[in-house]
Chain A
Amino acid sequence: GAGVSQSPSNKVTEKGKDVELRCDPISGHTALYWYRQSLGQGLEFLIYFQGNSAPDKSGLPSDRFSAERTGGSVSTLTIQRTQQEDSAVYLCASSVERVGTDTQYFGPGTRLTVL
């Protein structure tokens, strides 16, 4: 079956511009997660959704970052007024229910480059 998909696969933008990253989770998965992976760094948790609600937004680096999920499916991560330090690979993952018991299935990621 179809896995987690993300778009675009690559995004190059200029400093100060806004970007939107999209994630399509596996159908039926209620939990969805966003991570950021910088070169040589581990996965940095950003936010997770249980259904359409985001109980934990503590990982978002600043108020320039926001995310939403609609219909319990597609999620969008928005970065406003991008900065060079936002350059990274943004990974999305989904799981059947909640993190405590379920395996996460990752998408291929979106590589964001801020010039």
Chain B
Amino acid sequence: SQKIEQNSEALNIQEGKTATLTCNYTNYSPAYLQWYRQDPGRGPVFLLLIRENEKEKRKERLKVTFDTTLKQSLFHITASQPADSATYLCARPTGGYQKVTFGIGTKLQVIP
């Protein structure tokens, strides 16, 4: 089966540091991976999509990498701020690309 694995333990970092979250997948490499942010009591919000042939993608303070050898995507937030505190979800297409499987998410806490 096509699984997405994220470290379910919370990640605490100091404000201003770079946060790095990991997403590992099983089975064959998907055509793309997506990253979402979810705040308590809210639905997930799309952040970035990285395609299989893209090694790295950036958006403002966010950077995502896609390593098909390691079957892994890394999500970085540079110069982290307390407002970045949230749960971050990784997702991949499955089922013939007709649906998306989400990881359990990693809770990030940025400490002032």
Contact = CB atoms under 8 A, between A and B. Distances in A.
Interface of A: 4, 33, 35, 40-43, 45, 48, 55-56, 58-59, 91, 93, 98-100, 103-109
Nearest to A46: B99
Contact of A98 (B4, B49, B98): B98
Interface of B: 4, 8, 31, 34, 41-46, 49, 89, 93, 95, 97-105
A45 B100 contact: yes
Contacts, number: 58
B44 A106 contact: yes
Given A42-B89, A48-B99, A104 B41 contact: no
A58 B95 CA distance: 10
Nearest to A100: B97
A98 B93 CA distance: 11
Quick one: which of A42, A55, A91, A109 has the most chain B CB within 10 A? Answer: A42
